[in-house]
Structures are given as C-alpha cells and as structure tokens.
Amino acid sequence: MITLSLAEIAEVVGGRMHDIPDASAQVTGPVVRDSREAGPGSLFVAFVGERVDGHDFASAVVEAGAAAVLGSRPVGVPAIVVDDVQAALGALARHVVRRLGTTLVALTGSAGKTSTKDLIAQVLRRMAPTVFTPGSMNNEVGLPLTALTATEETKFLVLEMGARGIGHIRYLCELTPPKVGLVLNVGSAHIGEFGGRDQIAQAKGELVEALLPAEEGGTAILNADDALVRAMASRTKAKVILFGESDEADVRAENVRLTDSGQPSFRLHTPSGASDVTMRLYGEHHVSNALAAAAVAHELGMSADEIATALSEAGSLSRWRMEVTERPDGVTVVNDAYNANPESMKAALRALVAMGKGRRTWAVLGKMAELGDEALAEHDAVGRLAVRLNVSKLVAVGGREARWLQLGAYNEGSWGEESVHVSDAQAAVDLLRSELRPGDVVLVKASRSVGLESVASALLETGAEGEVAAR
Ligand SMILES: Nc1ncnc2c1ncn2[C@@H]1O[C@H](COP(=O)(O)OP(=O)(O)OP(=O)(O)O)[C@@H](O)[C@H]1O
Ligand SMILES: [Mg+2]
C-alpha cells in the first residue's frame, strides 16, 4: 500500500478521528481485516460479523503495531469511525488505485476466474511487477483489500470480480475502474440465485459497460466461443478483442489436443505472431483460460513467443483445482474438489479420461450446488457423460443430486458396479480404499459445500507409505 497519514485516510473515507494523538501518523500498510495479520503501520478494518465483532480486537491490533482501526464506533484506541465500514474500505481502495495509476485488469465469468487470473498474473509479471487477487477474494471486501496491497512499483493490478446478482460487478468497477475488462463465460454457476442465464449475462456484462471508450484506452476482452459473452460487444464503447477457438477470434488456438498426461497443447495465434504452447495445467478447459490470458498480455504489449513461454511454464497457484498427485503405489489422485458446475464437471471428466488412457479411471463426484430448476437435468447429464466417455467407475457421493447423477449414468447404460451411489464422503473413502488398484486414476470433484477434498486427502494418506510426489 502507499503511505497515507491518518488525517488523509479520514478525509478520503469521510470518517471521524477518535483517540488519535497524532493525525500525521502514517499508515504504511497492509490494510487487514484479520486481526492476526495486523503489524506495524497497518490499518485494521473492523467489521461486525454474525459471530465475531472486529472491534473486540482493537486493542490487540494496536498493541501489535497497527496505526489505527477503521470501524463503526470508537474503541478507546486510535480509530477512524465511519457509518459504513465496507463503503469506507471501498473509498480508500478507489483513492489509492487512482493515485497509483497502475494498469488495472479485471475479469469475471461463471467458471475459471481464479484459474485465469493466476495465469494472467504469471504471464504479466514477466514483464513488470504485478499484484493480483490471492485465491478467490473477489467480493466487495476482498477486492478492495487486494487493491490496497498495490504499491508505487506495481505496474499491473489483476483483480477477480465475482457476482451473485445484478449491480455487484458495477459496484466493484466503481471501486477499481479497470482499463482492461475480460469476460470468460456465462455458465450456470449461481444460476439459482440469478434466476437464469440471461440475468447472469446481464450481471457479468456490467464489466464491459464500465470500461472507458476505446479512444481513452478501454479494452474489452471477450470469449468468441460463448454467444452470451460475444454479444456483450454491443454493450461497451471500449475496443473489443475476441479470444477463442472460433475463426473470428483475434487471439486463437489451433491444433488443440490433450497430451497423454491430460495437459493441453496448442498453437497460439495472436495478431502479431504465433507460437506453440504445452501447458503444465491439466484439462482442456484451460485452453480457453490460456487464450484469455494471452489476449490480455498481447494487448498490454507482450509478444506471442513471450506469452507462449509464460503459459507453458505457468503452474497452479490456487489449491484443489485439478491438483494431480502420484501415490507411491501408482494410483493418481486428481483433486478438483474446489468447486463444480456443469461446465467444469465436463471438462474435468474429459481430462480424467485423457490422462487415464489405458488405465482404470474413477470419477468420484458430488452435487453441483445452486442450479435451481436445472439441477436434475444437469446432474443427469454429467452421469450420462461419464458413461459416454467410458469412465471405468463412477462413485456418486451424497444426497438427492448424487442419486440423479448416478441414475443418469445408469440410464445411459452403465451396469453393475460401474456406477454406484454412496451416502457420504467416508463411505466413498471406504469403498475406494478397498477397490483401488495400482495404476488407477481417481478424479474427486463436487461443489465447495460438499467438501470432497476430504476424500482426496484421505486417499493420499492411504497410499503414503513413502513420500507423496506432487507433480
Ligand atoms: N474455462 C473453464 N470452463 C469450465 N470450467 C472451468 C474453467 N476454468 C476452470 N474451470 C473449473 O471450474 C472450477 C472453478 O475454477 P476457478 O476457481 O478457476 O473458477 P472461479 O470462477 O474462480 O470460481 P469461484 O466463483 O468459486 O471464484 C474448477 O473446478 C476448475 O477446474
Ligand atoms: Mg474464484
């Protein structure tokens, strides 16, 4: 964060100073909401949560060196007091981002935001210092906190933006106005909350509506392969760059294939040259993510060769997304339990089959949450796809949705033990412990709320007679 005095911060957020002996005292950062992260020169943001009231930690953070608390009531130690802490945090981020003048890249979409954000950061940071969202901190609190970690050295600030309704992205864009706005896809994530795909498109498209006109440097980067995203071109005054596998895309992939280990390889075409990419990440869905990252990097001045090298060397920065681990006994565990939606389920199943060529493949799948009226049809479709792709064994874990999944597989023609339903994660672990054989490949995937990563970690413990080698 840049250095600001308490008086400056109070002015920016429209707050009142309480118990502050020296208004010229400097906040050097970081700005934190977790009291354990407060240190010398930091600003502690006190939120009143359902179970915890941040104000209760005011004395502790000041003892740890924090310059002040930003909160909604006086706390007996230096504090800037406002009516709305979230709005104040947003105003501070907006002020700092404006002053810094870094190039701000924002991205949204139904699936792949974090994976793509991690790719963009790994490509751009080869060119200049880059700050990016840690993990998935993409909401009205995480986004400003991330923006506030930028410093004078930061050339690129890459921010993931999430939405659970209309107006959310617009709000985030007001806090941190992007120069480059990328929309990945409009899928079914959170469709229950939004009410339908068109509403999701409406909400995600707020990103390109917020961009500056082309003459002032605004650039919208849109997925040419997704009709609802492609159509957002008419909602922006920014320059439009298309990425995808379609011929009309400015940044394209040709000769896309999965290697025998399930890693995508393709020829990257940009308006200024072409180069070959073989990724370290697993699953064909990363091609789209990589093209999106390439389009951003090309727009910001990198050559096709530089981008291709960076994409080929990029690793996974966030946990439980197609995390591939070899057990000493030759069983491969693919932990993709971070989250699931219909698109990512299908991509993960395809990756499983590619990396499991000639081996037994297991898909241990649970519910995809928040699908509203489409829940039955989507679970049915995933079960059917597992059979069509010839996955050797399907283990559907959990309640009603898992039954639909297994029934889809059954109706598509799986028989006997090829597809089974188990009631919970422990039952899945018990089954796998007794059935897995050396050489098998196991994919574990469900929505975040199911917590299937416990299955993946139990499987890794089981096989860990020696060191577990992570690829
Ligand atoms: N382009 C894509 N299309 C479909 N699925 C994808 C794509 N990219 C990643 N995924 C899968 O979607 C899941 C979520 O990925 P990721 O965390 O990158 O998405 P996200 O949009 O950041 O999710 P969240 O909304 O939880 O922040 C993972 O299981 C991943 O394998
Ligand atoms: Mg995310």
Which residues lie with the beta carbon below 6 Å from any ligand 1 atom?
109, 111-115, 136, 138, 162, 185, 189, 285, 288-289, 321-322, 336, 338-340, 343-344, 347-348
C-alpha span between 231 and 228 (Å, rounded): 5
Ligand 1 center–CA 222 separation, angstroms: 17
C-alpha span between 380 and 342 (Å, rounded): 10
DSSP letters of 421-452? EESSHHHHHHHHHHH--TT-EEEEE--GGG-T
Specify the ligand 1 atom closest to the Cα of 336. Answer: 29
- pLDDT for 468: 34
Q: Is the dihedral of CA 133, 137, 140, 145 positive or negative?
A: negative
The arrangement of strands across the sheet holding 130-132 comes to 130-132, 156-160, 103-108, 180-183, 219-223, 239-244, 251-258, 264-270, 273-278
- pLDDT for 344: 85
CA torsion angle for 125, 129, 135, 137 (degrees, to 10)?
A: -130
**Beta bridge partner(s), residue 427:** none
Q: Which residues contact 398 (CB under 8 A, 6 or more apart)?
A: 366, 367, 423, 424, 446, 450
- pLDDT for 417: 81
- pLDDT for 467: 34
Domains of the chain by range and CATH? 4-82 (3.40.1390.10), 101-313 (3.40.1190.10), 323-470 (3.90.190.20)
Ligand nearest to the CA of 108: 1
Q: CA 28, 142, 225: angle at the middle one, nearest 5?
A: 130
Ligand 1 center–CA 191 separation, angstroms: 15
- Integer-rounded Cα radius of gyration of the chain: 24
DSSP letters of 345-382? HHHHHHHHHHHTTTS-EEEEEEPPP--GGGHHHHHHHH
Considering only CA atoms, which of 131, 128, 192, 123 is closest in space to residue 164?
192
Ligand 2 center–CA 339 separation, angstroms: 9
Q: What is the mean pLDDT of residues 185-198?
A: 77
Residue whose pair of structure tokens reads 């416990």 in the numeric block: 454
Specify the ligand 1 atom closest to the Cα of 115. Answer: 18
Ligand nearest to the CA of 293: 1
3-state secondary structure of 270: strand
pLDDT tens figures, 445-465 = 999 888 899 999 999 985 444
C-alpha span between 205 and 183 (Å, rounded): 8
- pLDDT for 462: 55
pLDDT confidence band for 470 (50 / 70 / 90): very low
Ligand 2 center–CA 110 separation, angstroms: 9
pLDDT tens figures, 102-129 = 999 999 998 899 999 999 999 999 999 9
